[in-house]
Amino acid sequence: MPRLTVIMGERRTEIPFEGNPTVRQVLMGKQVPVHHPCGGHGVCKKCALRMEGQLSPRSDAEKNLPAEMRLSCTTVLLGDACVWVNQDAMTAIQHDGIMQDVTLNPMDGHVGAAVDVGTTTVAVRLLDLHTGEVLGVETRENPQRAIASDVIGRMEAAMQNEGEALRRSICGAVEEMIGNLCKKAGVREADMRVVTGNTTMLYLYTGKDPACLSCAPFEADCLFDLKEGDTYFPPCMSAFVGADITCAVLASGMMDAQQTALLVDVGTNGEIALWRDGQMLVSATAAGPAFEGGGIQMGCGSIPGAVDKVWVEDGKIRYTAIGGAEPVGLCGSGIIDAAAALLDTEMIDETGAAEEDELLIAPSVFLTDRDIRSIQLAKGAIAAGIKTLMDEQGITADDIDVMYLAGGFGSHLNLASAARIGLIPQALVDKTAVIGNGALSGAHMMLLNKECMEKARSIAAKARTVNLGGNPTFTENFMECMMFE
């Protein structure tokens, strides 16, 4: 039987295979961490790896790659072969978060695990349910990224008979993380889990068919608020606004005060909640993976060498890279800063037009004109979503008392840069409270006080979803927000 030899640093693993699968299929079968942001369609070229051996002829999509590099999603194995896999992973996944104080009235058991299953990352926090003490935290990339980088790609994969692979991938990772934490803490096992995430992530985690989320009328046949064995899944608000936002709203306490409050979780899916006069409006907008490096030619995660801060000094672009390493690409915060710096130096104008095809940010690190368009689409979607909810309430940013910025991306965001490119309204910069991983904190609160489950139900019940698809107000706002401020 032929074998694919996978080389990761000093480690070599031989994987036998039958027939003529693609390299992607063999790697996915053994959960080897290789990203396929475009879902394996040979478009993004992010799965290019060094390969040698009995391989199919080069495809048109590979014609501009170095001779030793091949796309794992299009390269077919014809016999024995070798592939070299980069071990780089995100090193700065957000797990801290601000939350409301709770009286200890825990769920049943001795040890609990709060789990946030994000589209890009996974975070687990282990708790002593008797004392409320945090016993440990572990984070990693969502292994489902090896199949597709966004929820649309994963729904497509699930509907093409890869649903079980997606479920095994994420459930296996979570159980491994919980096991690692229990071992380090010296406890036998976790008795209870609260698993939160957006609606699609919870469908994929539980193995439910996401077909209802993928086509009109886009209505979920399950909004969770259910317990399966030792795991509780908090309520989602709609097909597009999930339990992660329910938990973040709970953690922020935004509904407990007499104020007009906005909560924004900026990520692959921009989720927004607006609380005013006893009414909760929520919405979600597909920003795409640009803010997490996806679809950006030199985009990357928070790895050593990722440019994470960019500014203009004496008319020149300056930068820092994670770990002080040589620059290798741009992570999310660096992408926003870089766009702002390009505007400040007039290397791009308010329409996003540039005179150069490649805009140098750091040595060998640049943004292309296509990257700028991707940034405009992503920031335009978030900004238009915010504006549409404000329009629905007949208010402006001046009427908002506080904006809660949730999620890992928001925790590292330079607010001035975000306002400079028009991602968030300038009027909200000084009104922003960064709450970190609000989804994880909300799950944490439920483990320590069972009454928080009822609060979460109340939050979800009060939420009215404003659909943006086909919404003329959103369409108009999006066209306006595509421009840089």
CB 251 within 8 A of CB 435: yes
* pLDDT(33) > 70: no
Distance CA 125, CA 109 (A): 16
Residues 347-369: pLDDT tens digits? 999 999 998 999 999 999 999 99
SS3 per residue for the chain: CCEEEEEECCEEEEEECCCCCEHHHHHHHCCCCCCCCCCCCCCCCCCEEEEEEEECCCCHHHCCCCCCEEECCCCEEEEEEEEECCCCCCCCCCCCECCCCCCCECCCCCEEEEEEECCCEEEEEEEECCCCCEEEEEEEECHHHHCCCCHHHHHHHHHHHHHHHHHHHHHHHHHHHHHHHHHHHCCCCCCEEEEEECHHHHHHHHCCCCHHHHCCCCCCCCCEEEEECCEEEEECCCCCCCHHHHHHHHHHCCCCCCCCEEEEECCCEEEEEEEECCEEEEEEEECCHHHHCCCCCCECCCCCCEEEEEEEECCEEEEEEHHHCCCCEECHHHHHHHHHHHHHCCCECCCCCECCCEEEEECCEEEEHHHHHHHHHHHHHHHHHHHHHHHHHCCCHHHCCEEEEECHHHHCCCHHHHHHCCCCCHHHHHHEEEEECHHHHHHHHHHHECHHHHHHHHHHHHEEECCCCCCHHHHHHHHHHCCCC
Distance CA 220, CA 235 (A): 12
Residues 271-306: pLDDT tens digits? 999 999 999 999 999 887 788 777 788 988 777 889
* pLDDT(451) > 60: yes
Read off the amino acid at residue 337: D
Higher pLDDT, 9 or 459: 459
pLDDT of residue 257: 83
Tell me the β-bridge partners of 11.
8
pLDDT of residue 217: 87
Mean pLDDT in residue range 466-483 = 94
Describe the crossing of helices 243-252 and 438-448 by its angle, rounded to 10 degrees: 80
Residues 121-138: pLDDT tens digits? 899 999 999 999 999 999
pLDDT of residue 101: 87
Domains of the chain: 3-84 (3.10.20.30)
Distance CA 447, CA 193 (A): 8
Mean pLDDT in residue range 18-30 = 85
Distance CA 422, CA 384 (A): 10
Angle, vertex CA 71, rays to CA 69 and CA 76, nearest 5: 110
Residues 171-189: pLDDT tens digits? 999 999 999 999 999 999 9
Mean pLDDT in residue range 306-331 = 93
Residues 227-256: pLDDT tens digits? 999 999 999 999 999 999 999 999 999 998
pLDDT of residue 90: 40
pLDDT of residue 92: 43
Task: Locate 348 and state its tokens.
Answer: 């791009």
Distance of CA 480 to the CA centre of its chain: 25
Distance CA 214, CA 210 (A): 7
Residues 389-421: pLDDT tens digits? 999 999 999 999 999 999 877 777 899 999 999
Mean pLDDT in residue range 145-156 = 86
Mean pLDDT in residue range 99-114 = 94
* pLDDT(37) > 80: no
- Assessment of whether the complete model's pTM goes beyond 0.85: no
Lowest mean pLDDT among 50-64, 171-185, 201-215, 428-442: 50-64
Give the whole-number percent of the chain exceeding pLDDT 90. 70
* pLDDT(150) > 90: no
* pLDDT(40) > 50: yes
pLDDT of residue 421: 97
Read off the amino acid at residue 425: P
pLDDT of residue 235: 98
Nearest Cα to 458, choosing from 151, 246, 245? 246
